[in-house]
């Protein structure tokens, strides 16, 4: 079933959410949607994070972060905006219209976030939850369950275990992890890890904790093996 836009009590808020700054340049008495976009980005990130936290209790912090990033990004939000026919509704200046603004992924994504921000002001935080959850829960399941999507977000499964299984099956040896770089201030460290088998580096990864850097190194190794055809779909 095709998704629908939320119903607003205050139509002026909805209109502002659809108003790009290029329209305001030609209509100075109007307000653009940039502040609403800022608010919507925060509200959307919160509720999608809460949805994933509740639905996937087995996932680590790194896995939840990766999944949220796979859900809340310009590409996904632009596709959602297209399904909602938001492009037809955006109030654009003449120049932005000529430049294809109604099909611009960044503009569509920003407008969707502005609508979420406006709906939060219009109907409250719980109404936003009730609107967001059906939209994103099915998409999250698709990413988690689809092999092709898992290949794009392999950190949703235990990458270190999977790579260890591959290393034992193909080299009869456990992978070795080493931290090769450490940078940043004490409160904002970033670590770079490598994963090796038989002395050969198979992947690298970075993270604000050593464990996350190692997991991302394993993730990188799995992606490399898939690209080279050295892993079967079931591994």
CATH number at residue 147: 1.10.1520.10
The residue out of 101, 123, 152 marking a domain boundary is 152
Does residue 233 lie within any of the structural domains? Answer: no
Parent domain of 23: 11-152
**Rg of the chain over all Cα atoms, to the nearest angstrom:** 22
Which residues are marked as active site?
41, 113
Q: Which residues have CB under 8 Å from 126's CB, separation 6+?
A: none
CA distance 197 to 174: 7
Q: Residues 97, 203: one domain?
A: no
Q: Among 121, 152, 183, where does a domain finish? A: 152
Residues 197 and 131 in one domain: no
The DSSP secondary structure of 102-132, one letter per residue, reads GG-HHHHHHHHHHHHHHHHHHH-HHHHHHHH
- This prediction's pTM: 0.64
Give pLDDT tens digits along the chain (235 positions).
Answer: 778 999 999 999 999 999 999 999 999 999 999 999 999 999 999 999 999 999 988 777 878 888 898 899 888 999 999 999 999 999 999 888 888 888 889 899 999 999 999 999 999 999 999 999 999 998 898 888 764 444 444 444 468 888 998 999 999 999 999 999 998 776 667 889 999 999 999 999 888 778 878 888 998 898 889 888 887 544 5
Contacts of 218 (CB under 8 A, 6+ apart): 159, 160, 162, 163, 175, 195, 203, 205
Question: Are both 137 and 164 inside the same structural domain?
Answer: no
């Amino acid at each position: 079933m095709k998704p629908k836009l939320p119903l607003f009590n205050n139509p002026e808020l909805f209109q502002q959410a659809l108003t790009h700054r290029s329209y305001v340049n030609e209509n100075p008495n109007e307000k653009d949607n940039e502040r609403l976009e800022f608010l919507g980005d925060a509200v959307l990130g919160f509720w999608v994070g809460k949805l994933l936290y509740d639905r996937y209790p087995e996932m680590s912090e790194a896995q939840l972060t990766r999944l949220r990033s796979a859900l809340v990004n310009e590409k996904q939000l632009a596709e959602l905006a297209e399904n909602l026919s938001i492009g037809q509704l955006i109030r654009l200046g003449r120049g932005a219209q000529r430049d294809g603004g109604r099909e611009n992924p960044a503009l569509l994504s920003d407008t969707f976030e502005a609508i979420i921000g406006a709906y939060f002001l219009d109907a409250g935080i719980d109404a936003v939850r009730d609107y967001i959850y059906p939209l994103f829960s099915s998409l999250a399941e698709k990413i988690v369950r689809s092999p092709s999507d898992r290949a794009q977000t392999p950190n949703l499964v235990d990458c270190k275990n999977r790579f260890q299984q591959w290393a034992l099956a193909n080299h009869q040896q456990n992978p070795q992890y080493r931290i090769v770089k450490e940078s940043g201030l004490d409160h904002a460290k970033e670590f770079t890890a490598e994963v090796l088998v038989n002395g050969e580096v198979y992947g690298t990864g970075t993270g604000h904790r050593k464990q996350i850097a190692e997991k991302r190194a394993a993730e990188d190794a799995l992606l490399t093996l898939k690209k080279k055809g050295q892993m079967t779909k079931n591994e």
